[in-house]
Each structure stands twice: as C-alpha cells, then as structure tokens.
Structure 1
Amino acid sequence: MLCVNEEDHVMTRLTSEPTASIRSMDELLAVAMAMEKESAERYAALGERMRAAGRQELSEVFDRLVREETGHIEMVSDWSEQVLHHAPRPPAHGADTEGVFDDESLELVAPELIDAYRSWAVAVRNEERAFAFWSYVAAHGPSPEIRQAAERMAREELEHAKTLRRERRKAFFKQHRPGRVIRETCDLASLEMEVCTRLEEYADMNANKNRYRDLALEARMISLDLASDPLQDPAPVAPTPPRSLDALCEWLADYYIDAGEHLLSQAARDRAQALATIAVKRLAIVRDLESE
C-alpha cells in the first residue's frame, strides 16, 4: 500500500512536455474545453462504476468532481463568448494534452480497494498537472495574449487544486481520526485459503476448470506454508481485506509488494517479494479468466 504524506506539497509534474504549441485564443480555449470535458467524463464514468459496485459514498465523491469540472467548463465557455463571441470549438488535430489527466488506473482497481482520500488525491494531482501544462504554455506562448491567457488558466487550476486539497485533507483526517484502528492482524494463511476455496468454487462453474484448480492448489500450498511459518516481522499497515475474489487477489498482491519493501529482515523481504510475484501473476490470470 502506498503511504502518502498529507503534508507533502511537491507539485505533480507532467509525464511529458506538450509537443504542440498553442498559437491563438481559439486554440487555447478549444484545448481548455477539451481538457475540462475529458476530466468530467472520466470522473462520471468512475462515479457510475462506484455506484454499480455499491460504493455510494465514493460515487458521491466523483459526482462532486463532475460538478467541479462542469463549473470549469462553464467558465471556459463564458470566457470564449466574451473574447471570441462563440463557443469553444473542438481542438485542432495535434493539440497535445497527453499526460495531463490521469485517473491512475482507478478504472482497473477493484472498487473495494478505493477510498475517499485516494479519490481526492487523484483529483488534486490532475489539477496540478493541468497547472503545469498551462504554466508550460505560458512560458512558451508566441504572443503576450496567449501567455496572459495561459497564466490565467494556470491560476484557475491552482485555485481548483487548493479547493480539492481541502477535501483531501478532510478525508485524510477522517480516516486517521484518534482512536480509529488502522492496523488489523492479517491472517495471511486464512486469506490464501479463502482464495483457494473461491477458486475451487469457480472451477466448478466455469469451462476453464484446470486453470482455476491449478491456481487453487497454488493458493492452498501458500496457505499451508504461511500457517506453518508465518512472516515474522511486523506486518505493514493494511485496511480490512475485501471479500470478492478479484479484490482479494489484488489486496494480497498489494500487501506482499508492500511487505517486500518494508519488512525488517532481508529474509522476510525476499520471501514477501517471492509471494508478490506469485500473487501478481495470479491476479492477471484471474482477471483474464473472468473476462472470457
């Protein structure tokens, strides 16, 4: 599990520098509108996914992010009407905003493993990347008009990030309020046996019986090994394990990866890393089988 310091204020960077220059207000506002619309659509899709999974509290987080982005869309639209006397047009081919919006694979992560803090944190980093994008445009703009407009967009994104940081901070302290139990004893042997049982059940219901049974046998062997020789060092802090097969496999892979980095002895870290390799491969196979 990735530990994020709530007080870390290092600005998120773009994964790559924009390759296309913006030469007119038409292009600038078209790109701005496209960026805001992409954010709104991606957050809306995540909200629907959380709703379908029964994560109502998270669907409300993403619904609010959609409302935030809708407000940004209206701001860009009003600005375009004032300056250009028409709505923003679709961006020209080659307007490169790749690396600005990133949902950090939330659409692939099991809903049970996502929480409000992580959701707000992703949104904050997206605003910070948008700030970095417009700062880059401002620094390389071909005219004072473009540079000033890009600076305005950068300031807007910075204000948006500040608003979202407040929500992220609230979620952080809500999850870490005094008296809240954040460490639970993880009986890895029992969890691996639960994976084994689930896989055996799937084998009885699916055509790929042998693949499920091979994975089930592997999980049983891991369970027996952990029962006779548990990981001795203090375990990493971990949330309550989920119970769906996909999410449980992902949780165990994530747990072993973290244990491989943070357990105290080298022997324990090596063992956890070996388990992580098995668990990551297992997760990929389970998801492949479920998609067939």
Structure 2
Amino acid sequence: MPRLKSEPSRPIRSMEELLAVAMAMEKDSADRYAGLAGRMRAAGRPELADVFEQLVAEETGHMDMVAAWSKQIGLRPEVLHAGPAPEGVFDDEGIGLVSPELVEAYRSLAIAVRNEERAFAFWSYVAAQNASPEIRQAAERMAREELEHAKTLRRARRKAFFAGRHAGATVREPHDLAELELEVCRKLEQCADKHQGANDYRALALEARKLSHDLASDPLQDPAPVGLPPPRSLDALCEWLVDYYIEAGETLPSQAARERAQALATIAVRRLATVRHLEEGRE
C-alpha cells in the first residue's frame, strides 16, 4: 500500500510556511474527499457519499484549527493560501477509479486512516529536520493532531467493519493483552535481527515488553474479555491492538481505566505508524 515514500524535499523555515503547508494539506484532502462524495452520490450510493462528506467535514475542521492557530500568532490570512500541498501525502489508493458499487464504507475509512498516518509521518520528518525549536515544536504538534485524527477515523472504521460483517460461527478466545504485547515484542526483536532500522525496532520492542509487564501485573480488564482471535502478523497485530485500545478507551466502566486505555491507544497508534514506515524501507 503506498505511503509517504520520502522525506519533505526541503526544511520548513518559518511558522508562515509551516501553517501554509498544513492548510494546503487539509484543503487538498477536503477537496478530494468532496470529489469522491459527489461521484458516489451521482452513482446512487448515498450512504458512501455520506461517509466521504463526513471526511470533508473532518478536514474542514482541521482547516479551521490551522486558521485559528495562525490568527493566534498574528499571521495574515493570505499566508495560508500560498502554495500546493506536498506530494505523496494524500493517496486515494485508486478508489476514484473503482466502480462505486464495489466500494465499501470500511475501505473508504481505511484509506482515510492511512492518509492520516502519512500526514503523521510527514510532520514527524519536518520535526526531525528542523533545528529551530519553534518549528520543531509546531511540527510535533501537527504530528500529534494527525495521530488524534487517525484515532477518530479508526473508531469510525471499526464501527463500519462490525456493521458490515456477516454473522457466522467463529472461534472466540480470551484476549490476553500482556501476552499479545509480548508477542509484538518478540516479532519486533526478530525484525531487529533481520532488517535495517534495528535500533528503531529494538526501541519499539522494549516499549512493548514494558507494556506487557505492566498489563500482566495490572490488567486493563479482569477477567479478560472474550472475542475473535487476533491476527498474528506484526502489522496486523499492531493494528488490532490500536483498535482494541481505542474501543476500550470508550467502553470500559471506570474513568481511570478509560484514560489508561486511551494512553495505550496513543502509544499503539504511534507504534503502528513507525512499524509501517520501517517496513516501507525494506520494500
């Protein structure tokens, strides 16, 4: 699946430039989702048109956030419309060429999630490239915003998945989060031994091992909930844990448990984005 393939071509050197790029990225996404919404509505798929229009509303909200930020620091409005969006961040993955009757809400939202992941990677690159504390901190803020956007879209995607899933006989098992985090740790350690980016893989493995220890000594839920078996590949298991923590952050009975799950979700989203970036480097 195509993702951000290269670092931004040049460093961002001012807040004016940073916010102009941010606005261009959000506007580009909103315009493209609006085009897809129009296509789906014209093809008689109003339910999918609604999904894309919700994505337009999300991106419009992000644009409002950027505009408010620029106003807060005293920038002129015209600064925010200074150039095109960076290439390689938004990707509709060919959905605009697919027959509308073959498009599903889950797939549409999955594409939106991956676009937010690419935006997170873009801003992470900008932060890493920049020596200016002001620009670096602003880019880190944008990266955090993209992670939050991805979490919001993942919740919608998860609902779409369960809404569209056919009922059937399935094997169900307890979800041992400590063991699953330990499995992630082992897979990351294996990647560190085999591939480039060993230090990054090992840092993630150490983080997963700590999460496993914490969850074993203090389970998020006791008894563990029962559900469908998680996937076993590294990428899919990392994504499964993201979805699990996000759902737990909304549904656990106590506020403390929900807040803990939300913190785990943030860690898991960042981990998934990093794993996918490292996997791109092996392709």
What is the TM-score normalised by the length of structure 1?
A: 0.55
Alignment partner, residue 33 of structure 2: 43
- One-letter code aligned to 2:77: A
Alignment partner, residue 171 of structure 1: 160
Q: Please give the alpha-carbon distance, in whole angstroms, between the structure 2 residues aligned to 1:171 and 1:113.
A: 15
Q: Please give the alpha-carbon distance, in whole angstroms, between the structure 1 residues aligned to 2:86 and 2:75.
A: 25
What does 1:1-292 correspond to in 2, within 5 Å?
Answer: 13-87=3-77, 89-90=79-80, 97-179=86-168
Q: Tell me, what secondary structure is at the counterpart of 1:138? A: helix
Q: CA deviation at 1:169?
A: 0.7
Q: Please give the alpha-carbon distance, in whole angstroms, between the structure 1 residues aligned to 2:23 and 2:82.
A: 12
Structure 2 gaps of 5+ residues are 170-283
Q: Please give the alpha-carbon distance, in whole angstroms, between the structure 2 residues aligned to 1:37 and 1:146.
A: 21
Instruction: Report the CA distance shift for 1:89/1:99 in structure 2 as closer, same or farther (over 3 A).
Output: same
8 A Cα contact 2:3 2:88, kept in partner: no
Q: Please give the alpha-carbon distance, in whole angstroms, between the structure 1 residues aligned to 2:92 and 2:78.
A: 25
Q: Please give the alpha-carbon distance, in whole angstroms, between the structure 2 residues aligned to 1:54 and 1:96.
A: 31
Alignment partner, residue 232 of structure 2: none
Q: Please give the alpha-carbon distance, in whole angstroms, between the structure 2 residues aligned to 1:59 and 1:177.
A: 23
8 A Cα contact 1:34 1:90, kept in partner: yes
8 A Cα contact 1:46 1:59, kept in partner: yes
8 A Cα contact 1:120 1:168, kept in partner: yes
Q: Which has the higher helix share?
A: 2
Q: CA deviation at 1:85?
A: 3.6
Q: CA deviation at 1:22?
A: 0.3
Structure 1 gaps of 5+ residues are 3-11, 181-292
Instruction: Report the CA distance shift for 1:120/1:132 in structure 2 as closer, same or farther (over 3 A).
Output: same
Q: Please give the alpha-carbon distance, in whole angstroms, between the structure 1 residues aligned to 2:89 and 2:22.
A: 11
Q: Please give the alpha-carbon distance, in whole angstroms, between the structure 2 residues aligned to 1:41 and 1:96.
A: 12
8 A Cα contact 1:19 1:96, kept in partner: no
Q: How many residues align?
A: 169
Q: Tell me, what secondary structure is at the counterpart of 2:97? A: coil
Deviation string 1:54-96 (CA, Å, 9 cap, x unpaired) is 0000000000000000100000000000113422525656x77
Q: Please give the alpha-carbon distance, in whole angstroms, between the structure 1 residues aligned to 2:78 and 2:132.
A: 20
Which ranges of 4 or more aligned residues in structure 1 deviate by more than 6 Å? none
What is the TM-score normalised by the length of structure 2?
A: 0.57
Q: Please give the alpha-carbon distance, in whole angstroms, between the structure 1 residues aligned to 2:8 and 2:74.
A: 24
Deviation string 1:216-274 (CA, Å, 9 cap, x unpaired) is xxxxxxxxxxxxxxxxxxxxxxxxxxxxxxxxxxxxxxxxxxxxxxxxxxxxxxxxxxx
Q: Tell me, what secondary structure is at the counterpart of 2:73? A: helix
Q: CA deviation at 1:142?
A: 3.1
Identity of aligned residues (%): 68
